[in-house]
């Protein structure tokens, strides 16, 4: 078993990992920037070490400083959380070279899945349905043939992309060249890789993702799905599990294909396969080789602690459950609480002058903020996640509405009221919404 874990992250996810470590009897090291000296994860860890100035580039993305911190504190494991370096192949390689356990998949799997073109090839080989696409965008004739075959609209995507960067939707054939050039420039700036490809653009899909868990002994299980269709500019706002759309037959069908694909490459740890779902058809988009922000809704409906399982898998432990042992019970919803204006979405850093989080049966708050805490302007605006659980979706929504009403955060702007409006809308109540929901919602 790993004895000491350095948590290479901040905020609520650092606190989430710390709590799992404590329950497993594992010592923790918190890293922090100068701006996060008074952060909750720093206060609660067994040890803490500053890795640089406020900017993420100089601290949470500073690989030499993080490796030095792990060496100085004799950490034998590093948990990357999500974001920052969690899907950085070179970071995982360097950790492996230092004989420290990276709590995640092998660096080679990060490399394969980090390139969306390579990831689609793996899925195609294992008969996981993918969106029709064209990888070679240097040949105009091939582009014309592709568009003739599948029709418009199409979407240009960055091979190393994520978060909506390097993406352009094309509705007219004479716009394709500009879209490709523009996407390549943005991809180069964002990911230092200007490779892009084309895909059929689905107009009204749901965003459905499948959670998998694997060990180093070839055992793989799936833990159901999450519906992540409520999103703004490709950033998720609300997630729920299970999806209202999937039948047990459809769920098993896609889950079995996902298991086969991750088994084929010898994957270990947690991972998420993301799909667009339209007209009862799944289309693979990408695989995230890390813990997802929205992992709590899966934990609530399965009763399985994903962070603990991640650590146990990295320690070489065998899974203690089979697919037959896993069942989804009840319904769970997560609202991402962001420090931002609910209408303009402008980030709102500053001091929290009053703080009261909701509680009661079936209410979970994953957050690292507290009264008197100053939200720094240097990082992502998400300051917490509110998760509710109930026997069915209707009760879960009612519980979420009650919990949002109880949530008090003063001194900064938050999107709490926006979440209330969304979950009480007719579209959300009925479950009849897709990824375009926020573009028409007011």
What domains can be seen in the chain, in order of their start residue? 4-88 (3.40.50.20), 132-200 (3.30.1490.20), 206-440 (3.30.470.20)
Q: Average pLDDT by consecutive 10-residue portion of the chain (442 residues)?
A: 97 98 98 97 98 98 98 98 97 97 97 92 95 92 94 94 86 94 94 93 96 97 98 94 95 96 96 96 95 98 98 97 96 98 93 98 98 97 98 98 98 97 96 94 79
The token duo for 241 is: 């599990």
Q: What is the pLDDT of residue 343?
A: 87
CA 125 to chain CA centroid, nearest Å: 25
Question: In the prediction, which pLDDT does 143 show?
Answer: 95
Is 290 annotated as catalytic? yes
Q: Residue 80's pLDDT is what?
A: 98
Q: Which helix (H) or strand (E) holds 354?
A: strand 354-356
Alpha carbons 166 and 11: distance in angstroms, whole number: 27
pLDDT given at position 165: 87
The pTM of the full predicted model, rounded to 2 decimals, is 0.93
- Looking at residue 233, its pLDDT comes to 86
Please identify which of the residues 290, 336, 364, 399 carries the catalytic annotation: 290
The residue written with tokens 């609910």 in the block is: 342
Q: Which residues pair with 271 in a beta bridge?
A: 212
pLDDT of residue 108: 96
Contacts of 407 (CB under 8 A, 6+ apart): 337, 356, 357, 358, 386, 416
Note the pLDDT of residue 162: 74
What would the two tokens of residue 132 be?
A: 């029709």
């Amino acid at each position: 078993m790993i004895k000491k874990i350095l948590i290479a992250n901040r905020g609520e996810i650092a606190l989430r990992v710390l709590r799992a470590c404590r329950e497993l009897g594992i010592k923790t090291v918190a890293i922090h920037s100068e701006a996060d000296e008074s952060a909750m994860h720093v206060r609660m860890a067994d040890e803490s070490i500053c890795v640089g100035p406020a900017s993420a580039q100089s601290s949470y993305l500073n690989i030499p400083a993080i490796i030095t911190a792990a060496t100085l504190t004799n950490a034998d494991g590093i948990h990357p959380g999500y974001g920052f370096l969690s899907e950085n192949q070179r970071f995982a390689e360097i950790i492996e070279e230092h004989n420290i356990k990276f709590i995640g998949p092998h660096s080679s799997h990060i490399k394969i899945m980090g390139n969306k073109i390579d990831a689609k090839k793996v899925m195609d080989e294992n008969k996981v349905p993918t969106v029709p696409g064209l990888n070679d965008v240097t040949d105009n004739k091939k582009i014309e043939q592709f568009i003739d075959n599948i029709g418009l609209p199409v979407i240009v995507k960055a091979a190393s992309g994520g978060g909506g960067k390097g993406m352009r939707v094309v509705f007219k054939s004479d716009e394709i060249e500009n879209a490709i050039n523009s996407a390549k420039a943005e991809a180069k700036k964002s990911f230092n890789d200007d490779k892009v490809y084309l895909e059929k653009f689905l107009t009204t899909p749901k965003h459905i993702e499948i959670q998998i868990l694997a060990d180093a002994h070839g055992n793989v299980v799936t833990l159901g799905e999450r519906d992540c269709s409520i999103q703004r500019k490709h950033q998720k706002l609300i997630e729920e599990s299970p999806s209202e759309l999937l039948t047990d037959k459809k769920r098993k069908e896609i889950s079995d294909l996902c298991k086969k694909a991750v088994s084929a490459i010898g994957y270990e740890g947690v991972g998420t396969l993301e799909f667009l779902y339209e007209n009862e058809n799944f289309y693979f988009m990408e695989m995230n080789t890390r813990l997802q922000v929205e992992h709590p809704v899966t934990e609530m409906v399965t009763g399985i602690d994903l962070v603990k399982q991640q650590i146990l898998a990295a320690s070489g432990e065998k899974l203690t459950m089979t697919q037959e042992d896993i069942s989804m019970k009840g319904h769970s919803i997560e609202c991402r609480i962001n420090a931002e204006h609910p209408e303009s979405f402008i980030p709102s850093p500053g001091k929290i002058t009053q703080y009261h989080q909701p509680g009661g049966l079936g209410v979970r708050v994953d957050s690292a903020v507290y009264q008197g805490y100053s939200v720094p302007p240097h990082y992502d605006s998400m300051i917490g996640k509110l998760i509710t659980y109930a026997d069915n979706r209707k009760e879960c929504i009612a519980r979420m509405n009650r919990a949002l009403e109880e949530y008090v955060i003063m001194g900064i702007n938050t999107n709490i009221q926006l979440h209330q409006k969304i979950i009480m809308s007719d579209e959300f109540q009925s479950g009849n919404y897709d990824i375009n929901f926020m573009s028409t919602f007011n």
